[in-house]
Amino acid sequence: MAQVISDRRDIEFVMHEQLNAQDLSKLHDGFADFNKKTIDLIISEAKNFAVKELLPANKDGDQQGCTLENGQVTTPDSFKRLLELFNEGEWLAPTEDPQWGGQGMPRTVASAAAEYFNGANYPFMMYPGLTQGAGHLVEHFGTKEQKDLYLKNMYTGKWCGTMLLTEPEAGSDVGALTTKAVPNGDGTYAIVGEKIFISGGDHDLAENIIHPVLARIEGAPAGTKGISLFLVPKFRVKPDGSLGEFNDVICTGIEHKMGIHGNSTCSLSLGSKGNCVGTLLGEENKGMKAMFLMMNAARLLVGFQGFACATTAYMYALDYARNRIQGKDLTEIMNPDAKGVPIIRHPDVRRQLMMMKTYVEGMRSLLYFVHYCSDMAKFAPDDKQKAKYQGFVEVLTPIAKGYVTDRAFEVCSQGMQVYGGYGFIEEYPMAQLLRDCRITLIYEGTNGIQAMDLLGRKLGLNKGKPIMDLFGEMQKTLAQAKEIDSIQGYAVKVEEVVNKLAEVSIHMGQTAMSDKVLSAFANAHPFQDAAGDTVMAWMLLWRAVIAAQKLEKAKKKDKPFYQGIIKSLQFYTETMLPITLGRFAALMNTSAAAVEIEDDMFPS
């Protein structure tokens, strides 16, 4: 099996030719060291660590899984050493403040490391990923005392972190939670409640686990308005930073899941013995606002998880198709002496590989672009630009999580198809990739919730300015593309769907604010599909503009790469965009059938 899990050349294309990430070094003093040479070195180191350390442990992690015995959660044998090596490389919090153990790396640059790491072993990567997210909350909302006690230990990986939201009766409806916090009179709170589906909720990888916990202070308002955020360590932390007594956070079970077996998904009981103590993180009754900081970052991480499965599946399928000999070339089918050929020569396999190639390239550009926007939203030269880029992050996040993971799962499924029967058996990598990818469509807000967010919040955000700014960026790319003869025809097709998206967005927004609101939201996910298709078309056109401009003067070794980028655009516009136009037609109908059907019309 090939050890190539990502396309290094395409990563470099997006990083240096599409986004010009090296120019971020001129934008912010903290980025000064991240020139092209440094960026390429980081990518190389991430690739080496992913292939040499993370990838070999992926199958073992899947087969061994996690166990709970006598109250102790055990992770796969190889994971403890992996985390030690990961921490030694200072990979856990690359984008965070060096003051607390981070590297101060641009998020754009960290995208490449995230692609390699998650493509190699994303069930393991959930442990450091959640830790960074929990630490981010402490950094933004914690008191000086909380930062001093927790932050460096978390960002350096000495301690791990999680996110405790979900409860048995409060999944997506977080406002229905029942976990309570009772003031102890000394600034701490007694925490009592049950949490479920907690990724990395308990394990043996670190000496302490820090839990940000959503709970309701006694007497607080109902719903999300009365939720506060608390910091609850597995072991209490003394004022000098040493560990104290067990904090009554008990793992009551671990889930036996379809995939991500290497990550411990736990049910946790807090305060069942009346001895769980937490401290307020941020302001009272402002917990959801604080938690969304972590959740939005986590949603982008989930997009990367799905995409990483897809790019790995694509690279494996490509290698398999080049080496698997079966059947004659179709043009030699009547020749009794014709020899078997690699299956990449068969038209239907080539179609599948082209679909995988096209989506993987478009998803990579989109995800890296969103992280580039995050960098610009923080460090752009003026407030107007910062606001524009933050608007892009807001609008594109549900697409980067929801649409990307939907398409990523399709890519993994196609990869299995390329392998044929071998893809369906566990000795080959496709089965695990498909299983692991599937959860990305569900957690951190199901893709239906992402679609509702896109329709219900993001279209009208700031009176529609972010979405109009996004259309403005698309129009710039279209104008460039229509000046290039070799891609002009494809640009016209992309322009058609961009204009149609603008029309349908207005229609869907108006319908969502009318008495047909239920019909609008019954079509929210198809709307997200169509919007995502359009963003993919934009990304592929943007890539093709660059490739077409460079092709004439390109070195001989680079010409096939640039030509391949243009072929991806051709394939997408000729085979996928006609389907998108059909989606738009259906959305203009805004079918009410799903909400009009009576309950007793379903089978009883």
50 alpha-carbon distance from chain centroid = 18
Identify the CA nearest to 484 among candidates 542, 560, 423, 558.
Answer: 542
CA–CA distances in Å: residue 512 to residues 84, 462, 590: 50, 17, 10
Q: What sign does the CA torsion over 309, 310, 311, 313 have? A: positive
Residues near 161 by beta carbon (within 8 Å), at least 6 away in sequence: 130, 131, 132, 133, 134, 135, 154, 209, 210, 211, 212
Using CA atoms, how far residue 307 sits from 315, 359, 372, 452, in Å, is 12, 9, 17, 22
SS3 label, residue 320: helix
Show the tokens assigned to 578.
Answer: 């006609």
- Which among 444, 483, 596, 598 is annotated as catalytic? 444
d(C-alpha 409, C-alpha 413), whole Å: 6
Phi and psi of 227, rounded to 5°?
A: -95, 135
Residue given tokens 């006690």 in the structure block = 149
Q: Alpha-carbon distance 13 to 173, whole Å?
A: 41
Distances (CA, A) of 134 to 124, 162, 316, 349, 557: 16, 6, 34, 43, 45
Q: If we measure between CA atoms, which residue out of 305, 391, 364 comes closest to residue 19?
A: 364
Cα–Cα distance between 143 and 389 in angstroms, integer?
Answer: 29
Check if 444 is active-site. yes
Q: What is the dihedral of CA 193, 194, 200, 202, to 10 degrees?
A: 80
SS3 of 171-238: CCCHHHCCCEEEECCCCEEEEEEEEEEEECCCCCCCCCEEEEEEEEECCCCCHHHHEEEEEEECEEEC
Length of the chain: 604
CA angle 292, 296, 302 (to 5 degrees): 135
Residue 148 has, within 13 A of its CA and on its CB side, a CA count of 7
Closest CA to 4 of 345, 360, 285, 287: 360
Sorted by sequence, the CB contacts under 8 Å of residue 113 that are 6+ apart come out as: 42, 43, 46, 91, 94
- Closest of 569, 521, 515 to residue 545, by C-alpha: 569
Burial of 61 (0-12, 13-18, 19+ CB in 10 A): buried
Q: Catalytic amino acids?
A: 444
